[in-house]
Amino acid sequence: MTLQVGVIGTGMIGRDHIRRLTNVVSGVEIVGVTDIDQARAAAAAPAGAEVFATPSALISSEKVEAVIICSWGPAHEEQLLACIASGKPVFCEKPLVTSESAALRVMEAEVACGRRLIQVGFMRRFDSDYRRLKAVIDGGKLGAPLMFHSVHRNASVPEGLYTSEMPLNDTLVHDADISRWLLSDEVIGVEVRAPRRSSRGGALRDPVFVLLHMASGALVDVEISVNIAYGYDIRGEVSCEAGVAALPNRPATVISDSNGIRQAIPEDWRERFIDAYDQEFREWIVAASNGTASGPSTWDGYAATLVADAALRAVVSGGFEPVNMIAKPNLYGRPAAMAAE
Ligand code: NAP
């Protein structure tokens, strides 16, 4: 059986997902695309796919069984609610939405529908290195996790594309989600410190140092540097009671020449997480073909949104900003049962 999908948003990641769904993963066919820019959608459409005039026309089309949302964040809420109203499984790129109230509206609609329909694009959970790290922590031999040091470095971001708070409202959601998932914990508060500003970052608040306070008492520190020049560098190390577990340096060819001995660094997220993106879609296709969703949920998207909001408040207050979540709806499992999802 082949899952017939429609893609909303044919920008940078939309086109990358179209490539992977067309050439890499199986069990799926792209039957429709749409974008505000119709010419861009037409250029990105695989052979035989229809170019729809609007997201709502794509979502309501009988030929579309499941939807992939790759538009920008502020458009996600309306498109997610339309997918839920149509009962269609949907993969939504992060962020789920851009405000707490929008996250609650989407969650309420999905809960009322009675089954999970949404998977959020937190692809790190599908990365084999992160999965092995989590297996070690969950295995318990190192004892309870006490601290997680997370490093998120981008070579650069396009000048003028983002507001000054982009590292906190766009980038941090990945670190917030992976921290909750790795430690099977929730964030209860956030602090932010801004060190000396990088001269390469223009108006951006870059770098930033974020401290996530977890419900268990564990602490997570996150370095976000989005203009670090040398490449895309993701690191993580978990300090536990009886040992430390860390992500490995990526295996790469070792080059020896007149510059010394070195290994290449990924240019960007597409290269570093290429296998993780493939795997997140393999798992999404299986669940969506059964009319539901697995993996990172609306609850996880809601949690990440609250953490980003608290981080933005913490920049202003200079202190600890609490994260207050509603009680977890049964649809998203027991509070401590994050390991399987
Ligand atoms: P992008 O290059 O700007 O592409 C977004 C596309 O969606 C653009 O063509 C845009 O058109 C279109 N669009 C915007 N609003 C729309 C709407 N209401 N209906 C239909 N099309 C609409 O951005 P991107 O980098 O691909 O990012 C897209 C999403 O993926 C964002 O939510 C981003 O945070 C997320 N993302 C996730 C990852 C990850 O690691 N998981 C990595 C990159 C991006 P216009 O340009 O004309 O507005």
Residue 325 has pLDDT above 90, yes or no: yes
Report how far residue 125's alpha carbon sits from residue 178's, in angstroms, rounded to the nearest whole number.
7
DSSP secondary structure letters along 195-211: -SPPGGGTTS--SEEEE
Q: Are residues 307 and 263 in the same domain?
A: yes
CATH assignment at residue 18: 3.40.50.720
Tell me what pLDDT residue 326 has: 97
Which residues, at least 6 apart from 107, have a Cβ–Cβ distance to it below 8 Å? 298, 299, 302, 329
CB 35 within 8 A of CB 9: yes
Can you give the pTM of this predicted structure?
Answer: 0.95
Q: Are residues 105 and 133 in the same domain?
A: no
Q: 25-34, 274-283, 303-312, 327-336: which range is least confident on average?
A: 327-336
Tell me what pLDDT residue 318 has: 94
Q: Are residues 200 and 328 in the same domain?
A: yes
Report how far residue 146's alpha carbon sits from residue 172's, in angstroms, rounded to the nearest whole number.
20
**Structure tokens that stand for 191 in this block:** 């602090």
Tell me what pLDDT residue 252 has: 82
Q: Are residues 49 and 100 in the same domain?
A: yes
Q: What is the pLDDT of residues 247-259, one digit of tens each?
A: 987 778 899 999 9
Q: Are residues 219 and 104 in the same domain?
A: no
Q: Are residues 98 and 234 in the same domain?
A: no
Q: 45-59, 98-112, 137-151, 321-335: which range is least confident on average?
A: 321-335
320 lines ligand 1 (CB under 6 A): no
14 lines ligand 1 (CB under 6 A): yes
CB 22 within 8 A of CB 30: yes
Which structural domain, as residue segments, surrounds residue 33?
3-123+276-297
Residue 272 has pLDDT above 60, yes or no: yes
> What is the residue with the minimal CA distance to atom 46 of ligand 1?
11
**Structure tokens that stand for 120 in this block:** 């959020």
Q: Are residues 107 and 139 in the same domain?
A: no
Q: What is the pLDDT of residues 86-96, one digit of tens each?
A: 999 999 999 99
Q: Are residues 177 and 308 in the same domain?
A: yes
Q: Are residues 71 and 207 in the same domain?
A: no
Tell how far the Cα of 167 is from the centroid of ligand 1, in angstroms: 17
Tell how far the Cα of 179 is from the centroid of ligand 1, in angstroms: 25
10 lines ligand 1 (CB under 6 A): yes
Split into its structural domains, the chain has a count of: 2
> What is the residue with the minimal CA distance to atom 11 of ligand 1?
36
71 lines ligand 1 (CB under 6 A): yes
Tell me what pLDDT residue 167 has: 82
Q: Are residues 22 and 42 in the same domain?
A: yes
Q: What is the 3-state secondary structure (H, E, C) of 83-122?
A: HHHHCCCEEECCCCCCCHHHHHHHHHHHHHHCCCCEEECC
Q: Are residues 249 and 286 in the same domain?
A: no
121 lines ligand 1 (CB under 6 A): yes
Residue 1 has pLDDT above 90, yes or no: no
Q: Are residues 55 and 89 in the same domain?
A: yes
Q: What is the 3-state secondary structure (H, E, C) of 49-88?
A: CEECCCHHHHHHCCCCCEEEECCCHHHHHHHHHHHHHHCC
Tell how far the Cα of 264 is from the centroid of ligand 1, in angstroms: 28
301 lines ligand 1 (CB under 6 A): no
Tell how far the Cα of 70 is from the centroid of ligand 1, in angstroms: 5
274 lines ligand 1 (CB under 6 A): no
54, 56, 70: residue to mutate for ligand 1 pocket, most atoms within 8 A of CB = 70
CB 321 within 8 A of CB 313: yes
Report how far residue 207's alpha carbon sits from residue 187's, in angstroms, rounded to the nearest whole number.
21
CATH assignment at residue 213: 3.30.360.10
User: What percent of the chain clears pLDDT 70, i.e. is strictly above it?
Assistant: 96
Tell me what pLDDT residue 201 has: 78
267 lines ligand 1 (CB under 6 A): no
> What is the residue with the minimal CA distance to atom 41 of ligand 1?
121
Average pLDDT over residues 278-290: 98
